[in-house]
């Protein structure tokens, strides 16, 4: 069997998506393992989850750098050290530089069905709009906000009595399953991205 795909996961908060990847990769048949977890802030549960799993962590705080470019370069350098096949931005609250994206194939999850409701408040915006179905999207990160080529999507029904928290929790449950499934298939079968079309099973990681 070939070596498992090397994942670097970036987090800014609770890290439940990260935990789902850590749990899945405990099985060697999954085909991927988390080799490092990075964050843009300290003292978050996402980092604690990595430490409990014995996975190396790093923090690069924007406020520690004089310029945004300096932070971008530092993040690229530290991620490069772990030689990832794939970077997963899982609740990471910073935009990534073009140089970073040119260097690493990077996936992100968004708690809405793209192209609807991009940005920081996907569940709230879906609720305010009154849609009956929303969901989560896994996409290849590009220069825009939640605009990249779509890898996978999962629908979630909006309940009459949902508030933002209850809706987001249900979306996150579906989102984690989608993420684990798609990342595993990409690790085992490869991915091909042509324009906006993404094909898992393209043979290349």
Residues in contact with ligand GRF by CB under 6 A are 11, 13-18, 46, 90-91, 109-111, 172, 175
**Taking CB positions, which residue lies at the least distance from ligand GRF?**
91
* Closest distance to ligand GRF from the beta carbon of 153 (Å): 12
- Provide, rounded to whole angstroms, the least separation between the CB of residue 162 and ligand GRF: 15
| Chain centre to alpha carbon of residue 14 | 13
Phi, psi of 44 (to 5 degrees): -120, 155
**Residue with Cβ nearer ligand GRF (2 or 20):** 20
Closest to ligand GRF by CB, 10 vs 198, is 10
Helix (H) or strand (E) holding 191: strand 191-194
Output the CA–CA distances (angstroms, integers) from residue 190 to 8, 19, 158, 186, 199, in the order listed: 17, 22, 33, 5, 9
- Is residue 121 annotated as part of the catalytic site, yes or no? no
In whole angstroms, how close is the CB of 179 to ligand GRF at the nearest point?
9
According to DSSP, the residues that pair with 155 across neighbouring strands are 135
Q: Which of the 8 DSSP states describes residue 159? A: P
Question: Catalytic residues, which ones?
Answer: 110
């Amino acid at each position: 069997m070939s070596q498992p795909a090397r994942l670097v996961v970036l987090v800014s908060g609770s890290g439940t998506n990260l935990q789902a990847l850590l749990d899945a990769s405990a099985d060697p048949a999954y085909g991927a393992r988390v080799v490092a977890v990075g964050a843009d802030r300290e003292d978050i549960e996402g980092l604690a989850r990595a430490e409990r799993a014995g996975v190396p962590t790093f923090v690069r705080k924007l406020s520690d750098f004089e310029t945004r470019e300096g932070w971008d370069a530092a993040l690229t350098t530290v991620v490069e050290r772990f030689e990832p096949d794939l970077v997963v931005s899982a609740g990471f609250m910073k935009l990534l530089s073009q140089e970073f994206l040119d260097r690493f194939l990077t996936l992100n999850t968004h708690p809405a069905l793209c192209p609807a409701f991009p940005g920081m408040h996907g569940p709230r915006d879906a609720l305010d709009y009154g849609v009956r179905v929303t969901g989560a999207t896994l996409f290849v990160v590009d220069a825009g906000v939640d605009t990249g080529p779509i890898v996978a999507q999962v629908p979630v029904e909006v309940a009459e009595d949902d508030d933002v928290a209850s809706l987001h929790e249900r979306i996150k449950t579906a989102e984690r399953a989608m993420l684990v499934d798609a990342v595993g298939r990409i690790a085992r079968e490869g991915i091909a991205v042509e324009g906006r079309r993404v094909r898992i099973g393209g043979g290349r990681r």
